[in-house]
Amino acid sequence: MYSQNIGTVEKVEVQSPYCEILTVQIDGQTSRAINYIPFTGPAVTGDRVALNTVAVELNLGSGGYHFVILNFRRLKHQSKGKGHIMKLRYTPLQVRVLSVEEKASPAHKIMTEAVSLAGMPVLVAELHSMLAPAVLTLKIKKPAWRIAYLMTDGGALPAFFSNTVRVLKERGLLCGVITAGHAFGGDLEAINIYSGLLAARHVLEADITIVCMGPGVAGTATPFGFSGMELADNLNRVFSLQGKAVVLPRISFADARPRHRGLSHHTITALKHAVLVPVDLPLPVLQPEEQQLLQEQIETHQIDKKHSLFFYDNLTLAHLIADEQLCKTMGHTLSEDPAFFLAAVAAAKHLTTLC
């Protein structure tokens, strides 16, 4: 269930004010480790650190890294913070945050009165790799739009683990990041996704919001045993708050797994069985054979009977090439899996028609 070891820091690479990538030596072996500065303070060469090593041992997708639990040089490290809401509650690493809802928050009064999204379009995505292509496309088409990112706790929990979020913020492409549930480290902290959505609309004054988990997913090759099934819940939440729910479907023709070919079985399961309300489903027009498979999937599962479908033709990925390092999914690039990224472009184009 849990593995740990002691390592010695050999090199420190600062990613941001919140995150460092360390080269550590453990029993004569060199490995990489992530150090979250708010938890354990900055590291220096020669520090002895306690490491959570289980992800590397299991060869998980995020598992190129160990994670620093404790820096023995900084046993009395105290991270400054405000607020009385705990995230990662009742674990050894629980953290305090100032939630946007609590009384000490400058936005408390706004949040006591916020009950509706008032028609704000919300793009609900399944994977974190959908965030960059959607934002980059939106900003070309609507440069003045304020785009908020609501990060759920379905994947990575610290917002500062995401290089995508860091780059998008540095370039001013996001008006703010909200971390909901047990996710933390955003510009605003929210106790749940409902509050996060309302904070995006009324505190950040976003024109549109994108909702998806942080990096990393959990899956089991079963119909419902996948963390991305939160897609359905988030679409239902948007509808319940009088927002305009738009789904960004997962489409791939590069994934070797048959269940993810064309419209992913995850997206189909969510739209067919778990989304309780009609939503907008924008889709790219693809190559004839690919388009035929999509159409067969839509008809077989009667997706078009329940939801509103919109097809967008003559889409391009040319505007994403300069940011190809941000536009990768499951190890595939723009040219290797264009359908995946065209789905994000279609969704962004659809959003521009809504307001």
pLDDT digits (tens, 9 = 90+) for 69-83: 999 998 876 766 789
Three-state secondary-structure class, residue 11: strand
In this structure, the answer to whether residues 125 and 25 fall within a common structural domain is no
DSSP-assigned letters across all residues of 57-98: HTT-TTTT-EEEEEEGGGTT-------SEEESTTSTT-EEE-
Three-state DSSP string of 170-230: HCCCCCEEEEECCCECCCEEECCHHHHHHHHHHCCCCCEEEEEECCCCCECCCCCCEHHHH
Out of 48, 74, 100, a domain closes at 74
Number of domains the chain is built from: 2
**Chain centre distance of CA 105:** 25
Indicate if the pLDDT at residue 220 is higher than 80. Answer: yes
pLDDT (0 to 100) of residue 5: 94
pLDDT (0 to 100) of residue 330: 84
Region of 333 on the Ramachandran plot (φ > 0 left; ψ -120 to 50 alpha; else beta) = beta
The mean of the pLDDT values for the chain is: 94
Give the contacts of 177 (CB within 8 A, at least 6 positions apart): 148, 149, 150, 151, 159, 165, 169, 186, 187, 188
Q: Label residue 179 by pLDDT band (50, 70, 90).
A: very high
Out of 74, 91, 126, a domain closes at 74
Three-state secondary-structure class, residue 339: helix
In this structure, the answer to whether residues 66 and 192 fall within a common structural domain is no
Cβ atoms of 178 and 151 within 8 Å: the answer is: yes
| 280 occurs within a structural domain | yes
Residue 134 and residue 127: Cα distance in Å, rounded?
12
Give the contacts of 341 (CB within 8 A, at least 6 positions apart): 133, 317, 320, 327, 329, 334
pLDDT (0 to 100) of residue 81: 73
pLDDT (0 to 100) of residue 47: 97
Residue 294 and residue 310: Cα distance in Å, rounded?
13
32-49 per-position pLDDT tens digit: 999 999 889 999 999 999
| 99 occurs within a structural domain | no
Indicate if the pLDDT at residue 63 is higher than 70. Answer: no
pTM: 0.95
- For helices 193-202 and 230-240, the axis angle rounded to 10 degrees is 50
What single-letter amino acid sits at 78?
Q
In this structure, the answer to whether residues 157 and 267 fall within a common structural domain is yes
Q: Label residue 204 by pLDDT band (50, 70, 90).
A: very high
| 103 occurs within a structural domain | no
Residue 124 and residue 247: Cα distance in Å, rounded?
5
Across residues 234-262, what is the average pLDDT? 93
Asked which of 84-93, 160-169, 290-299, 315-324 is least confident by mean pLDDT, the reply is 84-93
Three-state secondary-structure class, residue 41: coil
| 339 occurs within a structural domain | yes
138-153 per-position pLDDT tens digit: 999 999 999 999 999 9
| 86 occurs within a structural domain | no
In this structure, the answer to whether residues 66 and 140 fall within a common structural domain is no
Residue 333 and residue 248: Cα distance in Å, rounded?
18
C-alpha separations of 319 from 101, 136, 190, 342 in Å: 38, 8, 33, 12
| 98 occurs within a structural domain | no
Can you give the residue range of the structural domain that contains 22? 4-74
CATH number at residue 136: 3.40.50
In this structure, the answer to whether residues 143 and 269 fall within a common structural domain is yes
| 84 occurs within a structural domain | no
pLDDT (0 to 100) of residue 224: 87
Cβ atoms of 194 and 237 within 8 Å: the answer is: yes
pLDDT (0 to 100) of residue 219: 83
Cβ atoms of 37 and 68 within 8 Å: the answer is: no
Angle at 149 between CA 81 and CA 134, to 5 degrees: 150
In this structure, the answer to whether residues 117 and 48 fall within a common structural domain is no
To the nearest whole percent, how much of the chain has pLDDT over 70? 98
24-36 per-position pLDDT tens digit: 999 999 999 999 9
255-275 per-position pLDDT tens digit: 878 777 899 999 999 999 999
